[in-house]
Amino acid sequence: MVNKYFVYEFMPNGTLCQHLQRERGDELAWPVRLTIAAETAQAIAHLHSAIDPPIYHRDIKSSNILLDYNFGSKVADFGLSRLGRTEISHISTAPQGTPGYLDPQYHQNFHLSDKSDVYSFGVVLIEIITALKVVDFSRPPNAVNLAAVAIDRISKGRLDEIIDPLLEPNSDSWTLSSIYKVAELAFRCLSFHRDMRPTMIEVAAELEQIRLSRWVSTEEITCAASSEVSPCSSSSNLSEQPLSMAVNKKFGLENRSLFMLQMTNVGSVNLMKKLKDNSQVSVQGPWLSEQSFRRTVC
């Protein structure tokens, strides 16, 4: 008799949910949270755009984002995932997922698409900003659902009321502005109508741009994404070489292709190669133990 075993990568820092809820370790600083968000977006974009047929995860949530020794993120638990179809906009299937993360339009009309994962990821972005539970019955009745609270506060210009104070948003201008940019992106991901939501490639590109803006101005990032050979003028002291090369050398801009497609209308081939070669998708598959199928609300 031959015994077969599955061996999975050990993720010593647990889940994103555990850290946001202060269940383990110190609180995560904003740059770390933003990097986790950017890497997770790349993983989901890989599922949607670098695989044929595409894969719809159906259960994107903070407790399914695992963290390695360096807080690099991996998307796990494919127990509810479904294969999509590139030739149609959605597939019809009974709604499944975790309360608080579930796409309301999918819940209403049974139409599952890549935008269902986009909605769920929008909820994760709100978690990252607020460190609040997605569903919490200890809150007032109109605030039980975190997505509803976020949509209300962001639309009214009152985001500051729900930002995690441990992020110290007013400590510097970049932290505050980047939090607001991520919140605005999350707001678009949480649109009720799926056609109003961005794709995960667009989400990944925008998060990478926000992350890099800590060191490089938006103008420099745009210039770096626009050309490999054309020099760009800059007030910084990087060098006189083409900025795309200078930024790569100084800041390790290995994910440039992720925002190239958003900044210009070229580079889709490089983007697909990047997503295929450097996916953050976990090796975990639908044959995991019964714990993989247990729906928990974080």
What 3 state SS string does the chain have?
CCCCCCCCCCCCCCEHHHHHCCCCCCCCCHHHHHHHHHHHHHHHHHHHHCCCCCEECCCCCHHHEEECCCCCEEECCCCCCEECCCCCCCEECCCCCCCCCCCHHHHHHCEECHHHHHHHHHHHHHHHHHCCCCECCCCCHHHCEHHHHHHHHHHCCCHHHCCCHHHCCCCCHHHHHHHHHHHHHHHHHCCCCHHHCCCHHHHHHHHHHHHHCCCCCHHHHHHHHHCCCCCCCCCCCCCCCCHHHHHHHHHCCCCHHHHHHHHCCCCHHHHHHHHHHCCCECCCCCCCCHHHHCCCCC
User: Per-block average pLDDT, block size 10, for the chain (298 residues)?
Assistant: 85 94 87 97 92 88 94 86 63 70 80 89 98 95 94 95 94 94 97 92 96 77 54 42 38 40 39 51 35 38
Pick the CATH number of 16-200+283-293 from 1.10.510.10, 3.30.450.40, 3.40.109.10, 3.30.230.70: 1.10.510.10
Residue 100: CA count within 13 A, CB half-sphere: 24
For residue 263, which of 215, 213, 297 has the smallest C-alpha distance? 213
What's the pLDDT tens digit per position in 65-93?
A: 999 999 999 999 877 777 776 654 555 56
Instruction: Look at residue 205 in the predicted model and tell me its pLDDT.
Output: 95
| φ/ψ of residue 281, rounded to 5 | -70, 130
Q: Is 77 annotated as catalytic?
A: no
Instruction: Look at residue 20 in the predicted model and tell me its pLDDT.
Output: 95
For residue 114, which of 203, 199, 43, 196 has the smallest C-alpha distance? 199
Which residue is it, tokens 């990821």? 121
Residue-range domain boundaries for the chain: 16-200+283-293
- Contact between 74 and 36 under an 8 Å Cβ cutoff? The reply is no
> What global pTM score does this model have?
0.74
Catalytic residue among 59, 114, 117, 164: 59
What's the pLDDT tens digit per position in 167-201?
A: 999 888 999 999 999 999 999 999 999 889 999 99
Instruction: Look at residue 222 in the predicted model and tell me its pLDDT.
Output: 60
